[in-house]
Amino acid sequence: MRFHALSSDRVVVTNLVGEHVVLPRAELDEVVTGGRPAPATITAMRARQMIRAPEDTLPLELLAMKLRTQKRRLAELTSLHMFVVTLRCEHTCRYCQVSRQATGRGEFDMTQETAEAALGHVFASPSQQLKIEFQGGESLLNFDLIKWVVLRAEQLNHDEQRDLAFVIATNLALVDDEMLDFCAEHQIVLSTSLDGPADLHNHNRRRPGQDSWQRAVEGIRRVTARLGPDYVSALMTTTEESLDQPEAIINSYAELGLTGIFLRPISPYGFALRLRGGGRYDTQRWLEFYRRGLAHIIELNRAGTPMTEIYAAIIAKKMFTNDDPGYVDLTSPAGIGIGGIVYNYDGGIYACDEGRMLAETGDQTFRLGTVHDSWADIMGSHKLLDPLWESFTLSVPGCDQCAFEPWCGADPTFHHATQNDFAGHKALSAFCARNTGIFTYLVELADSDSFVKDLLYSWAHR
Ligand code: SF4
């Protein structure tokens, strides 16, 4: 067992697979010094295989079985395949992480030949679940290729019989009825960006006419009307200007009928580094923003308005179930390459989208090869295996002793970008500080407020 002190005199104790109990500190002292803990403490800790009688081997077998169940997805690599169909974009967002190109520059579009080779990789991966996500630039600027890939993938899947799904990441400014008809016919989900109220969104996400927010909102309404609410989701990015208005951002989602929001910090990759403060505002300020936002979401739910904070829901699944939600930033081994992989417009293959963004600034660390290399060569390359094994949390100093290790993950791209090291020094890691802050906050909330505990539990079991 591993433990972490909370702000009161209580501690959270976890086992190898993330099951947990919260105890008074004195009670844990009784356990570890061989004293006289309460019978209820012994029952709770034995049920989670945190303690056992010396002759009792069953708890070890049970724990091993839980760990095997949790890690079974590792045999199912790779389920998420991201196609960068173009670098062209009609937006000039302040935090853009790729080298967007002007809309007239067709040489920055993926070709059918490249897409065909990339599809060879998609179907070479052993995963039964295959999700193809189209990205840009603005992906709808190359909608003809999206249509071609969808039809070709469905044709290939006629023999393969995988569980095939499609997502288009788009700012929705250019969506039209013909595109929506195609999405409806092929059950394609649209994922868009919405940073909050109009003034904040349009300040961050600039386009001719300053109408990005109006077009995104109109697009969300059109997708909802044509395909249904389950076929559109929105993501926000937190900028300096967002930090003092989490409530307004969340309310803008609720007003649109959206029932989930992912409170995301800005990432220190690619061209986002040009933002003030290198794009890396103080982690404590972001945590304050997150706590205020989550408190507001809890109050909305208490008042009867359903709203989920998606990062908290992912963590709740780890806290309260033995299921791994498979979120690529919170897995160990890391999700790069084996959880998701990126095919760039020019045929380059990257271990993750952040790796592609780093490449835009000249750092090719996460470029694994091209679509013309074999799947086995890509998956077996040291450029992928080195960051995977070097960042494996059970053997990384700091993480190996951390009570939150089963809920956390390895992020070799973040630590390479910020510390030039795949594992990273956790005392200096903004990733670690952010997650420690959120894990601690969620445990304390659930420990002190039964409504919040039930809410997190319901998010975990959705
Ligand atoms: S990154 Fe930090 S919070 Fe996550 S497991 Fe490692 S030490 Fe714990």
Query: Could you tell me which of 354, 347, 388, 341 has the C-alpha nearest to residue 265?
Result: 354
Tell me what the mean pLDDT of segment 122-138 comes to.
96
Cα 115–Cα 342–Cα 230 angle in degrees, nearest 5: 90
Residue 273 has pLDDT above 60, yes or no: no
Q: What's the pLDDT tens digit per position in 203-218?
A: 989 888 889 999 999 9
- Substitution candidate for ligand 1 out of 426, 439, 440, 442 with most atoms within 8 A of CB: 426
The per-residue pLDDT for 84 is 97
Buried b (16+ CB within 10 A) or exposed e, 37-48: beeebeebbeeb
Using the predicted structure, report yes or no on whether residue 30 has a pLDDT greater than 50: yes
What was the pLDDT predicted at 375?
96
Per-domain residue ranges of the chain: 1-70, 75-382
Please tell me the distance between residue 245's alpha carbon and the centre of ligand 1 in angstroms: 28
Pocket of ligand 1 (CB under 6 A): 393, 398-399, 402, 404-405, 408, 426, 432, 435-436
Q: Is 99 helix (H, G, I), strand (E, B) or coil?
A: coil
> Which of these ranges, 105-109, 123-127, 195-199, 436-440, has the smallest mean pLDDT?
105-109
Q: How far is the CA of 158 from the centre of ligand 1 (A)?
A: 43
Mapped onto helix, strand or coil, the DSSP state of residue 231 is: helix
Say what the pLDDT of residue 277 is: 43
Q: Which residues contact 417 (CB under 8 A, 6 or more apart)?
A: 268, 269, 354, 358, 363
Residue 319: CB atoms within 10 A of its CB come to 23
**Residue 276: its pLDDT value, please?**
44
CB 424 within 8 Å of CB 431? yes
In one letter, which amino acid is 95? Y
Tell me how far the alpha carbon of residue 10 lies from the centroid of ligand 1, in angstroms.
20
Ligand 1 atom at minimum distance from 436 CA: 3
Q: Is residue 279 predicted with pLDDT exceeding 50? A: no
pLDDT in tens, 41-55: 999 999 999 999 889
Return the pLDDT at 92: 84
Sheet holding 10-14, edge to edge: 2-5, 10-14, 20-24
Say how many Å lie between the first and final Cα of the chain, rounded: 28
Question: Band of the pLDDT at 278, cuts 50, 70, 90?
Answer: very low
**Spacing, Cα 289 to ligand 1 middle (Å):** 21
Instruction: Please give the mean pLDDT across all residues of the chain.
Output: 93
Beta carbons within 10 angstroms of residue 178's beta carbon = 10
> What pLDDT, in 10s, does the model give residues 149-204?
999 999 999 999 999 999 999 999 999 999 999 999 999 999 999 999 999 999 98
Q: Residue written as tokens 């993938």? A: 153
- Look up the CATH architecture of domain 75-382: Alpha-Beta Barrel (3.20)
Q: Evaluate if residue 274 carries a pLDDT over 80.
A: no
pLDDT higher than threshold 50 for residue 233: yes
pLDDT surpasses 50 at 282 = yes
Distance CA(16)–CA(79), nearest Å, equals 26
Cross-strand partners of 189? 167
Across residues 141-147, what is the average pLDDT?
Answer: 97
Q: What is the DSSP string of 390-425?
A: HT-GGGSTTGGG-TTTTT----HHHHHHHHSSSS--
* pLDDT tens profile 74-112: 888 999 999 999 999 988 888 776 666 776 677 899 999
